[in-house]
Structure 1
Amino acid sequence: MRLVVRTFSELCLTVGTLIVLFVVYVLYWTGVQADIAGAAQIDTLQREWARTPVAASPGPARVRPPYAPGKGIAVMYVPRLGKDWEWPVLQGTEPGTLKKGLGHYAGTARLGETGNFAVAGHRRTHGDPFKDFPRLREGDAVVLTDGTTWFTYRIDRAPYRTVPTDVGVIDPVPRESGFDGPGRYLTLTTCEPEWGSSHRLVVWAHLDATRPVADGRPQALDS
């Protein structure tokens, strides 16, 4: 009987240790990995942009290559989510891509162009980029740069709750967005509830202003 009790106790300790290690991995280590990967992606983008001279005045439109799967395409800033909130946007929404930053839905518009530039991000784990997503409000700025231009979008409504199968939220003109025709839009999506994935939270924004990188940071980042 003593042997049975001791074996059961040791088994409980082992299971308890594994649970603690898993929690540490989910809550802490995936965040460390995401921070390192995200910083590396931003550094890579900035190095690429530094090799491409930025014109101080308007000139011929630069031909931009297609977005490459898994590669960085922009950097996003959301002042409402923190003064130091900064994440790379990569092409694609595959699990491996979302471990390194935010993901641009393939098939949606390119940044700043007519249509819907749609982006997904984790609510929790892998850096918790959209942990405070419910705080977003109408009028909040979402700023992105592709190395040549700053794009300032303005959110049009508080987060909208829907189900994962509602793929219409990333349509060129999403039905529930309130937009009444084609335009240059931004959609952000994340999981709901905070520690689950039964639903999605969505915000829509419209392009409010653009500014050449050569002219300095947009006011939305310094206000």
Structure 2
Amino acid sequence: MPKPPRGWKPGQDSASEEELAAAKSYQAAVDAHASAAAELPNSRREIKDSSTPVSISLTDRVTRVFSRPAKDSATPPQMPKRLPGLVREPRNYTARELLIRNVMLAASVVIFGFFANLLVLGHLQHSVAQQQLTNQFREELALATAPVSEGDLNLMLLPNGAPVAIIDIPALGTHEVVVEGTDPASLKKGPGHRRDTVLPGQAGISVLMARAAAYGGPFANLQSLQPGTEFSVITGQGYHVYSVIGVRYAGDPGPAEPAEGIGRIVLETARGGAFMPTGILRVDAQLVSTSPTAPGMAFPELKKTIAASTQSSQPSSSPVPSGTGTPISSPTASPTAARSSTPTPGTSVAPSGASTPLPGETGAVSSTRNVNITLASVKALDPGARFTGTNTLPLAERELATDTSTLWALIFGLQFLIVIEIAALWAYRRVGLEKTWIVFVPLFILSGLLISDQFVRLLPNLL
């Protein structure tokens, strides 16, 4: 009976003699390979020292640098670092599947653009518009050309979106430039002045409307204003301070009509949750003080400064502007003494101390680079007759109104989106998904934003 191998335990299979012989031969081969490897050099320096030096001429060295080594046809190609992806064959959709796919894609693009416009891009557009309006209105105040009525210096109707005032409500953290017009497009820029009412600071009731949540939400939390809270408005006629009378909703009785010569302002916005208007919220405020200059500079000091700087260069009297009924006695006279009669078409009222004729005037003088333009916030010109009345106010400029005048742009936008979808499907079948994605995704985003902007016009203007 053969002797069991070393390490064998009862219950284990014993190795045969053939297996033992194979193991011994394998171990001998491993030992021979290890001894051969031990004799080889262990570093590049040993390899370099053991190799036989071969002299190479300069010509051969240059040739090796600029020449490519010849490829051996017997050498297999090198394995690429990254295997190419599997190319999927385009799927052949049925007519029903193609219709459903296109409808779902169009709806996704429009919905994404709509929410992106209201929640993100709308606030960005509002900030950019306010910065531009601030620069424009500041320049108009410096040149004494800020509007004091519904018309400009040439008695041309102010376009929608033109700046007319600056409202500052510290209790709400609101500092906005007020634009003319209350249609949805104008209220994207900021609070709007309703055309059929007087401007803030003038005798009568002035109405300002603004959005509650979208496009900056200038009048958000307007209901939190308490009676007695004060805020200010700057116009081309001066600096006006208002005191809140109270907050009222639809059906609540309003305050009594203001007495003759008394100014009042009504702030209006949407009532209800964000982006879900359920009614109109109004805040009434009474004009408590008005001054020709903003706080920080007294009017007599301003007159003395201008009088000292213009004494040597300005005459004692100025020509009477065309279309006015009261001469301007001095370039530093109080602006309340420089009121003109009601303007007539074709004429303009020029500030005092003018030297350059205004367009459309014959003999009238105005100022463009005069020291008296610092009296911009002191100007008290007659606002004149209004162009727009309550009966002629467009429906798109009333409370919670929508604008349907640009439906044609919405239709063209939807057609543009359909054309993009058809072109994208054709490109997907011809060039693949990757190239189609790169080219058509920006087009889908652009069309979605254009269509969503037109959809926003169909929403209530106080949203």
Shorter chain as denominator, the TM-score bin is 0.7 to 0.9
- The one-letter code matched in structure 2 to 1:27 is L
**Equivalents in 2 of 1:78, 1:95: separation in Å?**
22
Higher fraction of helix: 2
1:95 maps onto 2:172 in alignment: no
Contact 1:189 1:200 (C-alpha < 8 Å) held by counterparts: yes
1:30 maps onto 2:119 in alignment: no
**Equivalents in 1 of 2:186, 2:159: separation in Å?**
9
The aligned runs of 1:72-151 (5 Å cut-off) are: 72-82=163-173, 85-147=174-236, 149-151=238-240
Following superposition, the deviation at residue 19 of structure 1 comes to 3.3
Corresponding position of 2:264? 185
Contact 1:149 1:211 (C-alpha < 8 Å) held by counterparts: yes
Q: Cα distance 1:63–1:201, how it changes in 2: closer, same or farther (>3 A)?
A: closer
Following superposition, the deviation at residue 75 of structure 1 comes to 0.5
For structure 2, the 5+ residue unaligned runs are: 1-92, 152-157, 299-463
**Equivalents in 2 of 1:99, 1:148: separation in Å?**
26
**Equivalents in 2 of 1:115, 1:65: separation in Å?**
13
- The one-letter code matched in structure 1 to 2:164 is I
SS in 1 for 2:287: strand
**Equivalents in 2 of 1:128, 1:90: separation in Å?**
15
Cα RMSD after superposing both structures: 3.1
SS in 2 for 1:19: helix
**Equivalents in 2 of 1:35, 1:149: separation in Å?**
25
How many residue pairs align between the two structures?
A: 193
**Equivalents in 2 of 1:64, 1:21: separation in Å?**
39
1:47 maps onto 2:139 in alignment: yes
**Equivalents in 2 of 1:112, 1:177: separation in Å?**
20
Contact 1:90 1:104 (C-alpha < 8 Å) held by counterparts: yes
SS in 1 for 2:135: helix
Q: TM-score, normalised by structure 2?
A: 0.38
Residues 31-88 of structure 1: CA distance to partner in whole angstroms, max 9, x if unpaired?
11011112211110001111239xxxxxxxx994544232111100001111xx2111
SS in 1 for 2:200: coil
Higher fraction of strand: 1
Find the partner of 2:250 among 148, 162, 165. Answer: 162
**Equivalents in 2 of 1:118, 1:80: separation in Å?**
19
Q: Cα distance 1:63–1:133, how it changes in 2: closer, same or farther (>3 A)?
A: closer
Corresponding position of 2:280? 200
- The one-letter code matched in structure 1 to 2:114 is F
SS in 1 for 2:201: coil
**Equivalents in 2 of 1:188, 1:49: separation in Å?**
24
1:69 maps onto 2:165 in alignment: no
**Equivalents in 1 of 2:180, 2:132: separation in Å?**
15
Q: TM-score, normalised by structure 1?
A: 0.74
- Find the structure with the greater CA-based Rg: 2
Contact 1:103 1:120 (C-alpha < 8 Å) held by counterparts: yes
**Equivalents in 1 of 2:248, 2:141: separation in Å?**
35
Find the partner of 1:176 among 246, 253, 258. Answer: 253
Q: Aligned residues: percent identity? A: 22
